[in-house]
Amino acid sequence: MEPGALLVFVGLLFFNSESASSAVCDVNIDPSRVVVRFGDPVIVNCSTTREDVFEAGWESSINPVNEPNSKITVWNVSSLIVWDAEPKCFINYMNEPRQCVEKLDLVIYKSPESVSLIAPEFMKIGVESTITCQVLDVAPARYLSVKLYKGDEQLGNRSFTHDSTRFPVNESVPFPVTPTRADNGAEYTCVAELQLGPGGPKPNPTKRSPPLKMPVVYKPSLLSAAEENVEVREGGSIVLKCSADGNPAPKYEWKYRIADNVQEITKDGVSTVNIPRASSSNDRVYECHAKNRYGVATKNITLTVKGGTPWIMIILLIIGVVLAIAIIVGGIKFCGR
Ligand SMILES: *[C@@H]1O[C@H](CO)[C@@H](O)[C@H](O)[C@H]1NC(C)=O
Ligand SMILES: *[C@@H]1O[C@H](CO)[C@@H](O)[C@H](O)[C@H]1NC(C)=O
Ligand SMILES: *[C@@H]1O[C@H](CO)[C@@H](O)[C@H](O)[C@H]1NC(C)=O
Ligand SMILES: *[C@@H]1O[C@H](CO)[C@@H](O)[C@H](O)[C@H]1NC(C)=O
Ligand SMILES: *[C@@H]1O[C@H](CO)[C@@H](O)[C@H](O)[C@H]1NC(C)=O
């Protein structure tokens, strides 16, 4: 056959089938879209308004139907327990077009058997971790939506619209999560939803994972300046404080030259060095190390112990007072002349 003739032939074929199915086939399926849970009953009508019916029926791997001389045929399944049922309604007529077939838009679904989260034992601040949502035994994947929540906040979602599998599947969906300090103790949940569309159950079948809490670990960071200079008068008392935030809670270690009157106390996450009667032997740098297994923070407190009021200050003060009196007295005498 010549290419031109072939084109005309294909064109005619196309034109014929097009006009046949839309104009005169007249096969009406009711309801036009069926959403059924695996194992549930289904009843669907198929009918025609044409009078020249020879036979009507349903072609299917379960409960096929064949009814002679009937303008209506019912596909009636008391328990739909096959995943690949592809029911088609056919009607055979006496006149052209003699056979018309219409596929039923059928969705067979099954809620997930289980939804769970797989996560590391702990996460580190600023480091990306993966929280995986595992959805077992769900169908069909095409309508599945998997979402990860932190509290009420949605962190991510995933759908499988291009998956045409009709059978139940397992889906593992990894979500990247980079925690901040505020996420310590946050509750994560995975939600799997079948968004089945028109004709589906309302609300959509939804299953949540048990909530999961994960510690967020981080190295200690100081709650005050890393460098401090403090002064105390000889004989006075002073408390040097060091505190840091970390998870796990930091342990404190002080380094300084030991003296009898110095006492270390750590309570409620604050470590202190108490010096009740300061003397020049306490005059030095106190180094505080706040440690956990992820790091250490160091604070240096330089303590200066001042002696009593220095003599030079007292002498200067006396000279000042004497000078002032002399000037005032001199001024009065001058005026009085
Ligand atoms: C199917 O047809 C029967 C009559 O044969 C009717 O009673 C029934 O309501 C129809 N069902 C639907 C879903 O249209
Ligand atoms: C469907 O079949 C069941 C028995 O399998 C029957 O009881 C019921 O009446 C049928 N329904 C229709 C609409 O034909
Ligand atoms: C799914 O997540 C994307 C970002 O990853 C977001 O833009 C979209 O709105 C989310 N969709 C739904 C239905 O939550
Ligand atoms: C889904 O996972 C379960 C449990 O791990 C397994 O028994 C089943 O065979 C899996 N199904 C598929 C379709 O891979
Ligand atoms: C604290 O002092 C020690 C020596 O006394 C020094 O090695 C360290 O770098 C100091 N740290 C800070 C944060 O200043």
Segment 292-326, tens digit of pLDDT? 999 999 999 999 998 865 566 667 788 888 888 88
Which ligand lies nearest the alpha carbon of 45? Answer: 1
C-alpha 277/C-alpha 238 separation (Å) is 8
Q: What is the pLDDT of residue 36?
A: 97
Structure token pair of residue 190: 């995975």
Q: What is the pLDDT of residue 336?
A: 63
Q: What is the pLDDT of residue 318?
A: 82
The CATH architecture of the domain made up of 24-109 is: Sandwich (2.60)
Segment 21-50, tens digit of pLDDT? 444 889 999 999 999 999 999 999 999 999
Same topology between domain 114-214 and domain 225-306: yes
> What is residue 35's three-state secondary structure?
strand
Which ligand lies nearest the alpha carbon of 141? Answer: 4
In words, the CATH class of domain 114-214 is mainly beta
Mean pLDDT score of the chain, rounded to an integer?
90
Report the residue among 28, 35, 45, 74 best suited for mutation to probe ligand 1: largest number of ligand atoms under 8 A from its CB.
45
> What is residue 322's three-state secondary structure?
helix
Structure token pair of residue 217: 């670990």
Percentage of the chain surpassing pLDDT 90?
77
Q: What is the pLDDT of residue 11?
A: 41
- Which segment of 166-170, 208-212, 253-257, 310-314 scores lowest on mean pLDDT? 310-314
**What is the DSSP secondary structure assignment for residue 201, as one 8-state letter?**
-
Q: What is the pLDDT of residue 310?
A: 59
Q: What is the pLDDT of residue 18?
A: 40
Pocket of ligand 3 (CB under 6 A): 154, 156-157
- CATH assignment of 225-306? 2.60.40.10
Which has the higher per-residue pLDDT, 337 or 126?
A: 126
Segment 60-93, tens digit of pLDDT? 999 999 999 999 999 999 999 999 999 999 999 9
Nearest CA to ligand 4 atom 4: 136
Segment 225-279, tens digit of pLDDT? 999 999 999 999 999 999 999 999 999 999 998 888 899 999 999 999 999 999 8
User: In the chain, what are the domain boundaries?
Assistant: 24-109, 114-214, 225-306
Distance (Å) from CA 136 to ligand 4 centroid? 7
Q: What is the pLDDT of residue 301?
A: 96
C-alpha 131/C-alpha 64 separation (Å) is 46
Q: Taking the complete model, does pTM exceed 0.85, yes or no?
A: no
Give yes or no for residue 15 having a pLDDT over 50.
no
Distance (Å) from CA 171 to ligand 4 centroid? 10
Nearest CA to ligand 2 atom 12: 76
Query: 290 pLDDT band (50/70/90 cuts)?
Result: very high
